A and B are shown apart, each in its own frame.
Chain A
Amino acid sequence: MTRISVSVDGTEAVDEIEPRTLLVQYLREQRGRTGTPVGCDTSNCGACTVLVDGRAVKSCALLAVQADGAEVTTIQGLANGELHPMQKAFHEHHALQCGYCTPGMIMAAVDLVGEVADPSEQQVREGLEGNLCRCTGYQNIVAAVRDAAAEMRGAS
């Protein structure tokens, strides 16, 4: 067992874990962050995307011990009293159908807009290439991300 100290959605945690524990398992099973789903199990689909020190990563392709000392933000840590602009935009544009990819899609989009404040449609599509949606055809997702970006830079 290895001791790790992680901040998860603003709460400091110290836990003893097996080194083979994936970050997504740790988040779901020891930290109760079941808002982050396990998707493809092969690190393709991006459904398990969370922010580690502000950068989007696939939490199934990272050991929890690798996140030792880091600040982790899941979909459950995004809202601050009210929905995050990205969550709101996904809701308003109906940027989902089954919703399984949505937590990862939103976290990846938040990361993208943090780097590219006013992404073009092409930049959104390329920026989200690591996140697969099998329902929507992506149209409303792209619209939601661009709309949220506008709100996040105060231009709406």
Chain B
Amino acid sequence: MIPVAFEYTRPSTVEDAVAVLAADPDAKVLAGGQSLLPVLRLRLAAPSTLVDLRDVESLHGVRVADGELVIGAMTTHAEILHDRRVAEHAPLIAAATATVGDRQVRHLGTFGGSLSHADPAGDLPAVALALSATMVAVGPGGRREIPAADFFVDYLTTALAPDEILAEVRVPDTAGWGYRYEKFSRMAQAWAVVAVAALVRRADGGVADTRVALTSMASRPVRATAVEQALTGTDGDSGAITAAAGHADEGTEPPDDVNGAADYRAHLARVLTRRALTAAAGA
């Protein structure tokens, strides 16, 4: 279907983009458009104006600053897959990004767009949560930092105000951590029925730190804190992993829909968590 008519603007600074959003509550941001365009075509949204961020140079690219990886919101999935800094400092992001959409979608879709869209079945929100990333938003009042744990509020809903733009994402260095993004989908290019983002840091033969976040187990990505607590401090062998993974669905509210019943998703969460931790812990 053809989208409802809208105005189009392509500012070259974040400030100009924010000004358009602040002046018009029905204006929407266009990043890579790989989620927005299908929504527009189905006429599920009818924004008055699209603010295309393509020409805002400061939103593009990856850098390392103060020991953290900083990913510009407009950096595409394909760019992330080819970036050596991402591979070195946050390989979990690269592993999950390789499973996003398909090749064509990854050429246009952006890291920041995926996070801002906040689909609970999207791959990158759970990854950002597991990594304890910090979202840097820009609005009329300037910049503010939002921890990933506070950023994802509900289904397709983030802590961003309507006149705020996600500018960049700061990611703590996890070089040396074991990692795995374990995703279960029914067919190629399909959304995850359930997926698990796992990080394990070993020290002195044991598990010093564990992070597990779940995709599509609630209306937003959730941390599996019971799993994390159960594994951390153990020797990380297969028995400890199996025991910890049994807690994966605790406190979750998995969707019950055509892609999977709630109890099936709970089962998947436990199985995929065991697999993800086995890979991440090198067990």
Contact = CB atoms under 8 A, between A and B. Distances in A.
Nearest to B5: A20
Given A129-B189, A130-B101, A43 B6 contact: no
A62 B33 contact: yes
A41 B5 contact: no
Contacts of A108: 103-104
A127 B50 contact: no
Interface string A1-39: 010000000000000001110100100000000000000
Q: How large is the interface on B (under 10, 10 to 19, 20 to 34, 35 or more residues)?
A: 20 to 34
Given A65-B52, A66-B54, A57 B104 contact: yes
Nearest to B187: A129
Contacts of B107: 55-57
Interface in B32-53: 33-34, 37-38, 40-42, 50, 52
A61 interface: yes
Given A44-B189, A108-B103, A130-B103, A61 B5 contact: no
Interface residues of A, number: 32
B41 to A, nearest CB: 7
Contact of B34 (A43, A49, A131): A43
B146 interface: no
Contacts of B65: none
A46 B104 contact: yes
Contacts of B261: none
A123 to B, nearest CB: 11
Given A2-B8, A19-B7, A20-B5, A56 B103 contact: yes
B105 interface: yes
Interface of B: 1-8, 10, 30, 33-34, 37-38, 40-42, 50, 52, 54, 78, 101-105, 107-108, 188-189
